[in-house]
Amino acid sequence: MKNIRKKRRTLFSLVLLLISIIGLSSCTQKPEDPDDNKGPIRTEFQLKSMSFNMKFENMSGGGDPIHTWAIRKNGIAEALKNYDVDIVGSQELQCWQHDELMGILGDAWASVGLPRFQKNSERCSILYNTKTIQYLEGETLWLSETPEVVGSKSWNSAQPRITTYGKFLHIPSQTEFYFFNTHLDHKSSEARKNQLALLVSYMQKYKEYPVILTGDFNMYLSDEGFSALTNCSDYDNTFSPFLQEFGNEMKTSHGFSGGTSGSPIDFLFYSLEKLLVESTTIIHDVYQGRYYLSDHYPVYSIFTLKENKNIS
């Protein structure tokens, strides 16, 4: 009889111990977040971006006799893949060149941007990798006193000049940002100054987001025409953190002649408040050991968010 009672007490004690363990486990277990299994996983924002004047060529020919578009387009596509680029501000692509390049890149890439004339012509397209970037909204503007009038020009500009911009989503981190791309006039300093001032006024509308500007500015940073940016404390160019490393080896426009000594006219600018620049590279790659990718070297910068904060 005593043994039975003893066994009952032991069994009862085990039950109590089991109940206490279960209770303790339920108290310390993290409650399930209903959003844990919803949407993409948030990771650190890192954006690999490029400004790339790809050199126009007429369909009828007349381009550089050695560095032809028929060859260069494959080198350009290879470079975008090799550098794992997320988003590119391109300049000088004629519509037919744009379509051929996008055909090589395939479904993994998309683009936005209108031609600067009503007919099929040169554009400032923004190309982006659809695996990492989603286009949300945007437009093409004419850098003139009438920005929404197709083909308009002002301030003695030799040609109509445009900017394409948009709001994009960095898919891995779910971070929204604005990306602008432009090509300023090649002859008139008055036009460049006013075109850039107009462009910056649009950038300022979205300053609560990370903002990036790429382009062929057709002038050196020391030119007075850059004042709209150089006098604005909200932005800086991506060469600035690395000037000591570059020294005088900063040439970006080389006319298919190569060389590195000189100053850039191709830049990426970025929001100082929102973004950090991990690195900036002037890409001197030669396709198949012989062919320049363009008469401009692409400029490649990698961005992260300050304090890794999501802005979306």
pLDDT exceeding 90 applies to what percent of the chain? 80
pLDDT of res. 98: 97
Is residue 251 very low, low, confident or very high in pLDDT (cuts 50, 70, 90)?
A: very high
User: What length is written for the chain?
Assistant: 312
Q: Radius of gyration of the chain from Cα atoms?
A: 27
Question: What is the C-alpha to C-alpha distance for residues 233 and 219, in angstroms, rounded to an integer?
Answer: 20
DSSP string computed for 203-238? HGGGTTS-EEEEEE-SS-TTSGGGHHHHT-TTEEET
Q: Tokens 């890149």 belong to which residue?
A: 105
Q: Which domains, ranges and CATH numbers included, belong to the chain?
A: 47-308 (3.60.10.10)
DSSP string computed for 130-180? TTTEEEEEEEEEESSSSTTSTT---TT-SS--EEEEEEEEETTTTEEEEEE
Among 38-47, 146-155, 240-249, where is mean pLDDT lowest?
A: 38-47
pLDDT of res. 2: 44
Name which of 47, 26, 36 is nearest 177 in CA terms: 47
pLDDT of res. 43: 59
Burial tier of 46 (Cβ tally within 10 Å: 0-12, 13-18, 19+): middle
Name which of 178, 193, 101, 102 is nearest 137 in CA terms: 178
Distances from the Cα of 278 to the Cαs of 40, 47, 82, in angstroms? 24, 10, 18
Highest mean pLDDT among 51-65, 115-129, 158-172, 296-310: 158-172
150-155: average pLDDT: 96
pLDDT of res. 96: 95
Q: Taking 50 as the threshold, does the pLDDT of residue 95 lie above it?
A: yes
Among 8-12, 66-70, 78-82, 167-171, where is mean pLDDT lowest?
A: 8-12
Q: Taking 70 as the threshold, does the pLDDT of residue 228 lie above it?
A: yes
**183 and 193 Cβ atoms separated by less than 8 Å:** no
Q: Taking 80 as the threshold, does the pLDDT of residue 226 lie above it?
A: yes
Question: What is the C-alpha to C-alpha distance for residues 148 and 139, in angstroms, rounded to an integer?
Answer: 9
Q: Taking 60 as the threshold, does the pLDDT of residue 40 lie above it?
A: no
- Encoded amino acid at 45, one letter: F
Question: What is the C-alpha to C-alpha distance for residues 282 and 276, in angstroms, rounded to an integer?
Answer: 18
Name which of 202, 180, 197, 201 is nearest 270 in CA terms: 180
Q: Please write the tens of the pLDDT for every residue from 10-26.
A: 444 444 444 343 343 33
pLDDT of res. 38: 38
pLDDT of res. 36: 42
Q: Taking 80 as the threshold, does the pLDDT of residue 292 lie above it?
A: yes
Among 35-44, 173-182, 186-195, 274-283, where is mean pLDDT lowest?
A: 35-44
Indicate the helix (H) or strand (E) that contains 110. Answer: strand 109-112
What 3-state class would DSSP assign to 271? strand
Beta bridge partners of 211: 178
Sheet holding 109-112, edge to edge: 109-112, 126-129, 87-91, 46-53, 299-305, 275-282
pLDDT of res. 178: 98
pLDDT of res. 32: 42
pTM of the model: 0.85
pLDDT exceeding 70 applies to what percent of the chain? 85
As a whole number, the mean pLDDT across the chain is 88
Give CA 227 to chain center in angstroms: 23
Strands 286-287 and 211-216: unpaired
